[in-house]
Amino acid sequence: MANYKPVFPQDIIPDGLDTTIINGKTIRKGTVAAFLANLTIFEDPIATLEQKELAKKTMEDLAPDVVAVGLCKHVTFKNAEVEKMLVNLQK
């Protein structure tokens, strides 16, 4: 039996640090939260086209890091455009 222990945020990026290396990529703390916040803007019906385009561009920039942390192994996004963006990076 494996000796698994729960993992806490400070186990991934300790207090006082802003980045860590995961799967060979430097990942900044807050990356996944920023991706999700931009997804909220992208899907918001009252967001302007300019706001949505900027949110999409930011998600595209963050997407390789989101894939590197393994989020896509466990999550399928309801938004088909965002899901496709992430799936294409995994190929």
CB 64 within 8 A of CB 25: yes
Residue 3 confidence (pLDDT) = 83
Residue 2 confidence (pLDDT) = 82
pLDDT in tens, 69-82: 999 999 999 999 99
Q: Rounded to whole angstroms, how far apart are CA atoms 83 and 55?
A: 15
Residue 5: pLDDT band with limits 50, 70, 90: very high
CB 39 within 8 A of CB 59: yes
pLDDT in tens, 25-78: 999 999 999 999 999 999 999 999 999 999 999 999 999 999 999 999 999 999
Torsions phi, psi for 19 (to 5 deg): -140, 165
